[in-house]
Structure formats: C-alpha cells, structure tokens
Chain A
Amino acid sequence: MATVHRVPGHVDGNALAGPLSEVFDFDVTTASARCDACGATAMLAEAMVYEKPHSFIVRCGSCDAVLMVVLQRADATELDLSGIAWLHVPR
C-alpha cells in the first residue's frame, strides 16, 4: 500500500470510465499501466484521480507521479500520457 501523502478529495480511476469512453474504444478501468517514474504496474482503476473543472490529473497509486492529464476542451479532449511507460489492454 502506498504511504504517499495526498490532498483530500480525490477519487480513483473508476471515475475515468465515462470521460475516457469519449476517446478510447476500450474500458480504461480494466487496463493496467506501468508508471514511468517508479515502474509500478497497476490497474488504471486503482490510480488516484484529482478532478478540476475541465480536467483530470491521474496519479500513480504507488509514488504519486502524474500518469496522465486529461483536458476537456469545448471542441476536443487532450491527453498527456507521458507518465505511462506501458499500457496493457485486455481483449
């Protein structure tokens, strides 16, 4: 279990299922990701999610590094995926 100190009020990757269904053709909650910072692999459902108006910041459950940023603009969704080193999507 992670021992990192967190800002209260976050949810987890389960909450990404709807928003990311607009972008991906797979269920993100059943995908697993490897954190580029610490190398831990976990289900995206288990990542920590901080929701701001029009954006989600998704952090690694083990080291708190940013895995992904989702920006919801009026005309597009933009993703920064640079914190994810590997993504496993079950068929």
Chain B
Amino acid sequence: MTAVWHVGTVAETRTETRTETGTGRSLLLEVPGWGGNIAGQHVDVRLTAEDGYQAVRSYSLASSGAGQMLQLAVDKLPDGEVSPYLVDDIMPGDQLEIRGPLGGWFIWTPDMTDSVQLIAGGSGVVPLMAMIRSHAAVGSAAPFRLLYSVRQPDDAFFRTELDTPAPGVDVTWLYTRSAPEGWDRPAGRVTAADLAALTFPPSDDPAIFVCGPTGFVEAVASALVGLGHDPGRIKTERFGGK
C-alpha cells in the first residue's frame, strides 16, 4: 500500500469563503499518474522551502473516481504554516507534492445502500462533498442527509452546489456565529437537540460520517451516542484544532 509522492500542478483556484475571520479556497490539481480515489480519502501535501525545510499536511479530496484532476479545499488558519500559502499564495501553474490516495476507513462507496448521515463543521465538508458527488455520479438510491455547521452564511464551502443538491440528498444548514436574516434558530453551536431534530434518528440506523475541527467532531459524536446511535455506525475524522 506504499503511497507514492506525485507532482500536482495547480490548474485553477477558486475563492470559496470570504469573511473577516478568514478565507477559504478550493484548488484543482492536475496529477499525472494519479490512479483515482474513493470518496472520503485524503492526500498528504508536502511543501519544500528553498533551504530544504519540508512541511507535510493532510487535505481531504472533494473529488473522487477515476481521472487525474483532484480538488482540495483549504481553510486558512491565519497563524498556520501551510494553509495561508495554499489559500493566498499558490497560483495556477505552481506545483505541489502530493501522496495518496490515503485512508480506506473514512470512505463511502457506491455499493453502500444504507441511509447516510453526513455531519460537517467548516472545512470538514470536503470529504463529505466527495461522497455527495459520488452519490450523484452513480445515481445511488441511498438516502443522504448533510448537516453543515458554519460560522456564518458566507463561510460555507461549495455553497452553490449545496444549495441545489441532487435528488436524494437533503442539506440542512446550521449557523454558529450569525444566521441569515429571518432564520428560526438563533446562531450557536450544534446541540443534541439540533441533532435529534435535523438528522436521521437511531431507528433508521444510518451510517454516520462526522468531520471537521476536533472539538466539533468529538462534541457531535458523543451527542449522537447520547441520542442512541450505535458508536460502531459513527465514523469520525478530526482535522485538528480545539
């Protein structure tokens, strides 16, 4: 399974989120020799400075399937080492080393027919977006729901695509800092009551994928268990942070 390092060339960049707290950007990378990937997998990105210093970080893929064009989406952490470069500096034509595809546990494959509940915080939507796109690409009949928690309306990745989901995919938004005008629920962190109201109940026995900042993932996963979901049905991926 030894994953090799490939060289990817940035084909296109797109600003996804733009708020006073930071920006997020998606990158299309062309990677000759890429053998395809499963929805949910990630890559390691390696940057090498002129003095030889290297930094490696993991980024999920928003794309899946065959083909040599990969999509990443990165949230900028202002004091971060790697993300500001990927969000502010890198330009079409620039190259990155990437290793992958990585991880065979946090994945969704078209042969899975169970109901799927996706729960994302911030950039945690990236691997779940790959699952939603894969579901649409194969015309899967598995019922899909996404609960997407963002700080404020303009802080969402893939907003346009998620506002018009494919049939069989239901998208629910949750705002933690400021909600759009006229929104019923006041802005605030996701609670067990939100999960009970907005996600598949334990009686549906959904396969659940939770992804985002570590604190978000752990709070959501333990609330889901509290609601009666089988811990064995909950897959988590922590992106780091508090």
Chain A interface residues (CB < 8 Å from chain B): 1, 8-12, 14-15, 17-19, 21-22, 24-27, 29-30, 43, 45-46
Contact = CB atoms under 8 A, between A and B. Distances in A.
B102 interface: yes
A15 B58 contact: yes
A18 B3 contact: yes
A15 B57 CA distance: 9
B106 interface: yes
A91 to B, nearest CB: 12
Contacts of A26: 1
Interface of A is mostly: mixed
B236 A12 contact: yes
Contacts of A11: 58, 214, 238-240
Size band of the interface chain B makes with A: 20 to 34
B42 interface: yes
Contact of B2 (A1, A14, A25): A25
B8 interface: no
Given A18-B99, A43-B105, A45-B103, A10 B242 contact: no
A8 B215 contact: yes
Contacts of A8: 214-215, 241-242
